[in-house]
Structures are given as C-alpha cells and as structure tokens.
Chains A and B, each alone.
Chain A
Amino acid sequence: MTVSPPLAPLTPSADRLTWRTALRRLVPANRKARVGLAIIGVYVLVAAVGPWIVQSLMGLSPTELTGDVLQSPSGAHPLGTTQDGSDVLAQLVVGTRTSLLVGALAAVVSTTLSVAVGLIGGYYGGTVDSVLGALTNAFLVLPGLPLVIVLAGYLRGRGGPFAVALVIGLTGWAWGARSKRVQTLSLRGRDFVVGARLLGESNLRIMLVEVLPNLLPVISATLMLSLVTSILAVSGLDFLGIGDLNSVSWGTMLYFAQQRQAMVAGAWWWFVPPGVAITVLGAAAGLVNFGIDELTNPRLRGAGGKAAKTRKPRKKGVR
C-alpha cells in the first residue's frame, strides 16, 4: 500500500535519552547558545581562580582600607580605588565569586523545586496535577520581587548572602515547573515509560530512571537561566541595601558607590565595572535563551545570516 518505506527519523533524538546519552547532548548545537555559555564559563573561571590571582599574585585586597582614596585606574590599581581606598578590581573579582555562588545556590534551589513540581504534576496527572498546576500559575503571576523584598526585609542580612539566595530560590521556581510539566506530560505516554509501568516498576523509579534523564536538556537550560536571573535579583537587593551589606558583591559595590556619591564625584571606575559585569552576564543569558528558542523552533534557525546570504545572488524579481 505504501509507496515507499517511511523515512528514517531525521534525528536520533527521537529515541529515549538515558543518563549517558543525555549528558552528551548538553552542548547545544546552536552558535548563539554556545557563545552565551562560553561567556558564562569565563565568569565561572573568574569566580573560581580570580580571587586567588588578584589577592595572592597581585596583592590587592577588596576590603583593606588604604590611604589611596578614590583614585582613577593606575598600574597599582588597574580599576582604581573606592572612597575607602579599597581596590575596585579586587572587589569586582571577589564580588564575582560571591554573586555566582549566591546565584548558583538560588538556581539549584529553584530548579530542584521546579523539577519536583513539574515532574510529579506531569507524571501523575489528574488532581495532583491540577493542584500543582494552579499553584505554579499562582506563583507565576504573583510578582516575585516584592515577595523577595519582604522576606529579605525580615532577614536583614541575617544568615548572610545564602539566606537571600534561599529566598530567591524559593520564590522563582514557577517558570521552570511549567516547562518541565509539559515535557513530562509528553513523555508519560511514550513506549519506554508505559513499558516500565507494565513491568511493575515503582513510580519513583520510573520518574527518576526513565523520565528524569529526558528532562535533562530542559533542566540544564533552566538551571543556566535561573542562575543568571538569580544573580540579577540578588544584585538588585544588594543595590537597594537590603541584602547582606557585609559581603562584597556587584550589588553592594553599586550600593556603596551610590551612597558615597561616586557619580557626583565622577568616579566612573567605581560603578561602571560592576554594572558592565552584570550586563554582560545578562546578555550571555539572553544569547543562551535566544539559542534555545532557535533550537526548539526550527523556523527561527537560519533566519539570521544564512537568509541574507542567499538573497543576494538571486535573480531580479524571483523570490
């Protein structure tokens, strides 16, 4: 009856993913996403070894009060000093570590929550799903920042930057839960899940062994994005002075710069670097996001340079 045998699947991704194959597929095939990930990788590198380099090798301190007050960049202080005479480069690099650690904790907390809610709701369906879905939607439409500010207002720096991270993580899981629920829902009816259920495997085991690896690409993407949005949120709180002011982070740098009138003094080297650090990280997340959009929506692919290239040599009037 058929004219020809059905085409082989276009991509092997139609198969199920096991933990091993899933891990291998984490490097995205999209250039924008790769560039974004590379930038985030540079930040991680700076956070990991940067403090050691500036403090031990270059002998700069982020907190030491020196007599060199509000100096513009020089050989001794590559990014100048603050009004207290602290070195801006050292603050920036140490602040990178603080900001990334806080962001990472918040991201892990919110991603774990989102996986749990999405996976359980999508897998069990029915009433469980309706309740979790309504809760997710509620947290999605409730404004996150006011909630975070109220909680941080009670904490008042108690518990250090990680308490703030926890708060941000606990309030920012809804977006990720949605995408994981949808993904789980589409996996629930697949052969290997149904098969495992028929074999009498426990629900917990099916969720962890059969379904979870297939969520890994989605999880890694939301983890990355929630890392960056958490960093932005923490920076915002620190900037307002309602985070932990004793820690050195991009946000507290900007807070003190504004408090000490760095702008009026024209001390651009004090407040521009942390702002640029935040913006570039945000842009990297934007690239990753954009890349993921292109990966999941084939029509966006090649909408960039490729189309422009082929349009040029085309004949007059022929579309």
Chain B
Amino acid sequence: MTATTLPVGEAQPSQPSDTAGAVRRRRGGRARVLLRRVGFYLGTAAVAITLNFVIPRLMPGDPASVILNKLAQQSQVTPATEKSIRALFGVPDEGLWQQYLHYLAQLAHGDLGVSIAYFPQPVSEMIGSGLPWTLGLVSLTTVLAFLLGTGIGIVSGARPGSRFDSVTAPLATFLGSMPYFWVATMLLLLLSVTVPVFPSQNGYDLGLDPGFTPAFIGSVIEHGFLPAVTIIVSSVGGWLLGMRNMMITTVAEDYVTLAEAKGLSRRRVLLAYAARNAMLPQIAGLAISIGTVVGGSLLAEAVFAYPGVGYLFYQAVVNLDYPLMQALFLTISLSVLLANFIADSVYVLLDPRTREDA
C-alpha cells in the first residue's frame, strides 16, 4: 500500500551559486523528470496496443473468420468492414509484422470495427457514449474516496491507539476486504430491493430526455448514488490504512518533533509537517490504484446495469461481441495510463526532491 511508483532517489544536494541559476536548474530537473515519465507511459501504451494485437492472434482458430461469419448472419458485410475486422483480428496468410503495421494504421484512423451485437454500429460510437458515464463515476468516487480515506487516516494516524483509531482501523481493514461486486450486491439488496430508495439499474430515468435540466441531473445523481457508494466503500479502506500507517511513521520524524518544539499549533504540526509528507506515498499509490478502481467499477457497473464502459464490457463478453470487447480493453487501458500519468505529474509537483532526480 505504501510502496511508491516513482523512483524517488536520494536527493543530490546541488550548490548553485546564485538563485537564478538554482531556479533554472530546478525547472530543468522538473522537465527532465516529466519527460522520463512521458517516455515510460508511451512505452506502456505501446505494450497495451501490442497486447490488444497479440491476444486475438494467440487464440485458437481464426477469430476474424468467426466474427465475419456472425456478421454475415445478420446482413451483408461490406468489403470495408471485412478489411477492418481482418486488420484488427488477423489475416491467416499474412506475416505478423505486416499484420502489425496494418493494425497500427487501422488504429491511427480511429477505426475499431463494428459491433456484432449492435450491428452495424461502430464500436467507437458505443464507447464514446459510455465513456463519460464511467469517467464521471470513477473520477468523482476516486477523488472522494481519496479525500475521505486520507482525511480520516490523518486523524487516526495522529493518535494511534486512540478510541477513534481503534474503531476506524479495523473497520477500514474490513471494508477494504469486501469485493466490489459483493458490496454492490448488498447495496442493491438493501437500498433498492428490500427498501426501494434508489433505482436498481440504468444511469437515468429512461423516460426523461437527456439534457441539462434539473430533472435529468437529479435523476443522474439518484441513479449514480449506489454505484458511487459501492466504489467509495470498497476503496476508502485502503486509503485510510495507507495514510494512517504513513502518519504514524511520519509523526516520529525529527522535523515533526521540531515543529512541535517550535510551539506551532497542533493543527499546523499535523497538517503542514506530518500530513503533507505522509501524503506523498498516497499520491504515488493513487497512480497504481486507479487500475484497481477501474476494475472494481466495471463490476459495480455490471451489477447496477450502469450505462458506462464497464457494463458495455460486461455485455460484450457475455454476447461474444469481440470487436467491442477488444476496443474496450484498449480504451480502458489507455485511459488508465493517462490517469496514471496525471497522478504521477501531481507527485512531481508536490515533492520538490523529485526535481533533482536525474
């Protein structure tokens, strides 16, 4: 939980003679660190794109033919559609390298094929309509869970063994152990089936026209509530324990003791000195845990039939809609990488020592 993604090496004390030089060097260091991160994430994106290429070709049989047969059962398959499916899922008698180039060219055009289940809808359109729902749900709940868990972690880590801590720490362990789909199922049972307070499926009341009307927005909040609570309940425990343990470690640091000896208010000692430092591994952890949260939200969306990419993914797998499935895999992976990159960049801004990290 407390491991960091970033190679935060020992800082190198530099001795620039003037402040202007120091500032220049500092900015240069920061740019270098960011550049390295960009490189890493581009490389990882290449891994994801290549995995997306390799997986269907590793599977027994010829997925492309299977898909084309299925499409043919529904209607006439145009040559363009056949070409794109072939590029994405494999051409039996073409060399792998050749296939890879065709595949990349296909991606560059943004053509991810057509859906089998919803033929002839292009999968990119379907993903486009689902992405905002998931993006909104995951980013909102991640930020809330992070703030909530970190906030409570500060309080319980500042006084380990206190009554507050002895309630929250075990509770967090327990909450963090509950799988997402189980929390979702329980919430559905309690607050939708047994006591029908919240709707059990969809992202909004289907009788309403989507738009920025109070009724529609209210309906979105009502429908998103249980999925959001699911994600927050399942992920808040990890943030809480991580922050608590880091606080306990940090509070014993000399600089916190010195802040106390300086006669600063307890609030300032805990926030500006202890929590400010204890938070760094949390931010680094944010990058790694985004993948887990996205995975969990896929399950939660499936339970609540929430119209995001998670539910789409679930339907794609159940309906054997391979073009949609692969495209979703790629989209979700790349989105998670982007989120990771943002979290990492925030880290670099928050920890001055990473600037010197050559």
Is B322 located at the chain interface by the 8 A CB criterion?
yes
Q: Which residues of A contact B316 (CB under 8 A)?
A: 153
Q: Which residues of B contact A134 (CB under 8 A)?
A: 40, 43
* Interchain Cβ contacts within 8 Å, total number: 170
How many chain A residues touch B (CB < 8 A): the figure is 58
The reply to whether B161 and A303 form a contact with Cβ atoms under 8 Å apart is yes
Q: Which residues of A contact B180 (CB under 8 A)?
A: 236
Rounded to whole Å, the gap between the CB of B327 and the closest CB of chain A is 11
The reply to whether A293 and B181 form a contact with Cβ atoms under 8 Å apart is no
The reply to whether B325 and A240 form a contact with Cβ atoms under 8 Å apart is no
Rounded to whole Å, the gap between the CB of B128 and the closest CB of chain A is 18
The reply to whether A141 and B337 form a contact with Cβ atoms under 8 Å apart is yes
Interface residues of B: mostly helix, strand, loop or mixed?
A: helix
Is B252 located at the chain interface by the 8 A CB criterion?
yes
Is A306 located at the chain interface by the 8 A CB criterion?
yes
Interface residues of A: mostly helix, strand, loop or mixed?
A: helix
Q: Which residues of B contact A303 (CB under 8 A)?
A: 160-161, 248
Is A152 located at the chain interface by the 8 A CB criterion?
yes
| A153-B325, A304-B166 as given contacts; A143 in contact with B294, CB under 8 Å | yes
Is A289 located at the chain interface by the 8 A CB criterion?
yes
Render B313-349 as a binary contact track against A, CB cut-off 8 A, 1 for contact.
Answer: 1101110101001101100110011001000000000
The answer, among A258, A283, A287, for a CB contact under 8 Å with B185, is A258
Is A142 located at the chain interface by the 8 A CB criterion?
yes
Name the CB-closest residue of A to B250.
A299
The reply to whether B299 and A240 form a contact with Cβ atoms under 8 Å apart is yes
A290 to B43, CA, bound (A): 34
Is B2 located at the chain interface by the 8 A CB criterion?
yes
The reply to whether A178 and B3 form a contact with Cβ atoms under 8 Å apart is yes
Is A187 located at the chain interface by the 8 A CB criterion?
no
Rounded to whole Å, the gap between the CB of B163 and the closest CB of chain A is 8
A153 to B145, CA, bound (A): 31
A311 to B159, CA, bound (A): 11
Q: Which residues of A contact B249 (CB under 8 A)?
A: 297, 299-300
Rounded to whole Å, the gap between the CB of B298 and the closest CB of chain A is 6
The answer, among B63, B161, B296, B322, for a CB contact under 8 Å with A308, is B161
From residue 145 to 187 of chain A, which have CB atoms closer than 8 A to chain B? 145-147, 149-154, 156, 178-179
List 18 extra interface pairs beyond A142-B291, A303-B248, CB under 8 A. A137-B44, A141-B337, A141-B340, A142-B337, A143-B332, A144-B295, A149-B329, A152-B317, A156-B320, A236-B179, A240-B181, A258-B185, A271-B185, A279-B182, A282-B179, A283-B174, A300-B248, A304-B161
